Amino acid sequence: MRRFILLILLVTISPGIAADNTLLAVLDNPDILSLDSDGSFSARDAGLSAVLESHGLFHYEYMARKDGALNESDRRFLILESDLANFSAENARRDLQATGAFAAVAERFSLKTLTMPNDPMTSSQWAVTSGSAGIHLQQAWDVCQGSSASVIAILDTGVDVGHEDLAGNMWQNPGEIPNNGQDDDGNGYVDDYNGWDAGDNDKDPSPVPYLEGGIDVGFHGTHCAGCASATTSNGTGIAGTGWDCSIMGVKMVESNVGMTDVAITNSFLYVVETKPDVISMSFGGPDQGGMAAFMQELIDMADAEDIVCVAAAGNNGDSQMMYPGACNHVISVGATNSSNQRASFSTYGTWVDIAAPGEQIWSCVQSNYQWDFLTELLFMLMYGYDGINPYMYCDGTSMACPIVAGVAGMVRSINPYMDSDQMDAHLSDTGDYVNYDHPIGKRVNAYNAVNDLSGTGAGDTPPATRLAGNYPNPFNPKTTIRFELDKAGPVLLEVYDVGGRLLKTLENGSLPAGPQERSWDGRDNNGRAMASGVYFAKLHTGDRSLSHRMVLLQ
């Protein structure tokens, strides 16, 4: 039986500027460069200017693909182009990094998915049912079944938003009215109702055919989404780890190109804007040409927004560090099998944080497009696909990663402020020790993770005062506004219309530190029902004033 190991780092050419004379750059301060509308730039620092000139770097392209204005984070990520015939990316990267003006400089890269399809052995989900090798999901679900307010973003080849076992759990952007051609929530992405296609820059995160090693792995993101949180107890398909947790689809594949550096960067820019609870990253590669430092910058942006970052460790069967799995503030996941052993393909090492089932995992595959005849025949003969129902076996740390992301999603539904480092420590503290042949961390124990939260102090209070938003949004007849206080004190929470007229006072008093919720039923202080439209929740504390946009649909 042949295994397809799909973890390979390639340098590819992305659309736009050619890759052979370009670098990726992350500016510490975007204002250090003067960027002109014709794509040229100059440096305000003489030393940096000299380095740029020596390498013929005079042109740039923003990596951000947004319909709205670029913010400071968007402007930090650039592609720099040289006009030298003998341009050396390695030398230019070294010299630019030495100037201290850049958080990271990298050569062009693309990353690969971590799927290893395998022959079927059983139609059951051993990760759910096994008492000795499973992760105690059935016991966990007795305690917690997740929450639709806990969002898991699948950064991958795309998620089939209409899949029979995923549609019920697909994230719905609370501030966006679907398919009206407008950016209702003002985040720079038009009609991003279920997520975003960061590869082709459009609203539909559904997968397209994507060849790796000669086979179509476009199903990969949908398979991972099923592992994380397929709709559970709905009489259809499989049970997803996160049960009721929502799935946000973020497609990183550019049609006819692959999983490029630009698409990966734009995926992170999107999740930083939308702030899911967890991101699942079943892709990676070894550090080459500064790629690891560049990935770390992307991870740091997500971590700064309290997003839990989970990544596959790799399928090389050795200890080589893979990125983003080996980045700081990332929970790196190794794979186990039904015999309670390290899966032979799983990358290992002390840098791998936690282990989870990753061999012979039955999950969803896409239904929005059909495979070609030979691909379909291959999957029917080798991977359990029956030619009708959109499900199949796969192997890989790719599958272990979203299973852990689903557990993290359930934990965040109870303690919504646990960050990556806290979650990493919590999953390790509550995991099961198994004497594997090589270190891949403890095996995740879902029951302990959701049951042993009292007294941990991790994630039960917010890092700072913030207005987290409202759910549902749009809403009818009422919505719940969530906010967090970093310290006790006076709080004023009010609702205004778009004209600035005060409609409703929801809170006016002293509150303790920590998470808070208040409901609004769409009525003003006199009990009059408000018409459909946009309204604003405004939170005032002793030192903060925050607002949030809400949409009422009567």
Do the beta carbons of residue 76 and residue 30 sit within 8 Å? yes
Distances (CA, A) of 271 to 83, 182, 238, 301, 531: 34, 19, 27, 10, 32
Q: Tens digits of per-residue pLDDT, 36-79?
A: 777 777 888 888 989 999 999 988 888 988 877 888 888 899 99
pLDDT over 90 percentage in the chain? 60
Q: Tens digit of pLDDT for each residue in 185-231?
A: 888 899 999 999 999 999 999 999 998 878 899 999 999 999 999 99
In angstroms, the CA 133 to CA 360 distance is 13
Residue showing tokens 């967890």 = 278
Residue 497 — very low, low, confident or very high, per pLDDT cuts 50/70/90?
confident
For residues 423 and 472, the model is more confident at 423
Dihedral angle, C-alpha 122, 126, 128, 129, nearest 10 °: 90
Q: How much is the pLDDT for 331?
A: 97
Residue 166 confidence (pLDDT) above 50: yes
What is the structure's pLDDT at 532?
Answer: 87
Report helix angle 89-98 to 46-54, nearest 10.
180
Please tell me the pTM assigned to this model.
Answer: 0.77
Q: Is 386's pLDDT higher than 60?
A: yes
Assigned token pair, 295: 């990935």
Assess whether pLDDT exceeds 80 at residue 117. Answer: no
Question: Closest Cα partner for 547 from 470, 451, 442?
Answer: 470
Q: Identify the band that residue 548 occupies on the pLDDT scale cut at 50, 70 and 90.
A: confident
Q: Is 439 exposed, middle or buried (0-12, 13-18, 19+ CB in 10 A)?
A: middle
- pLDDT exceeds cutoff 60 at 122: no
Maximum CA extent, the chain: 74
Q: Which residues contact 397 (CB under 8 A, 6 or more apart)?
A: 114, 282, 312, 313, 314, 315, 333, 334, 335, 343, 345, 346, 347, 358
The predicted structure's pLDDT at residue 458: 55
Which residue in the block uniquely carries the two structure tokens 């080798």? 382
Among 30, 90, 86, CA closest to 60? 30
Cβ count near 486 (within 10 Å): 16
Residue 116 DSSP class: B
Question: Which residue type sits at 42?
Answer: S
pLDDT for residue 162: 97
- If one compares 485 and 322, the residue with the highest pLDDT of the two is 322
| Helix, strand or coil, per DSSP, at residue 210 | coil
Predicted local confidence at residue 17, as pLDDT: 43
Separation of alpha carbons 99 and 421, rounded Å: 31
For 303, the 3-state DSSP assignment is: helix
Q: How confident is the model at residue 2 (pLDDT cuts 50, 70, 90)?
A: very low
pLDDT per residue over 413-468, tens digit each? Answer: 988 878 899 999 999 999 999 999 999 999 999 999 998 875 444 555 555 577 77
493 in Cβ contact with 514 (< 8 Å): no
- Which residues, other chains included, contact 155 with Cβ-Cβ below 8 Å and sequence gap of 6+? 250, 252, 264, 267, 268, 271, 279, 280, 281, 283
With both helix axes pointing from N to C terminus, report the angle between 420-429 and 397-414 in degrees, rounded to the nearest 10.
Answer: 100
Residue 470's pLDDT band (cuts 50, 70, 90): confident
Residues 6+ apart with CB under 8 A from 475: 522, 550, 551, 552, 553
| Position 12 confidence tier, pLDDT thresholds 50, 70, 90 | very low
Question: Mean pLDDT over residues 87-114, rounded?
Answer: 89
* Arithmetic mean of pLDDT, 526-532: 91
pLDDT at 407 over 50: yes
The pLDDT of residue 19: 57
Q: How far is the C-alpha of 50 from the C-alpha of 53, rounded, in Å?
A: 5
pLDDT tens figures, 257-304:
889 999 999 999 999 999 999 999 999 999 999 999 999 999 999 998
Measured CA to CA, the distance from residue 242 to residue 444 in angstroms comes to 14
Evaluate if residue 496 carries a pLDDT over 80: yes
Which segments of 415-549 does DSSP mark as H helices, in order? 420-429, 446-451
Which of 101-115, 341-355, 400-414 has the lowest average pLDDT? 101-115
**CA 197/CA 531 separation, integer angstroms:** 34
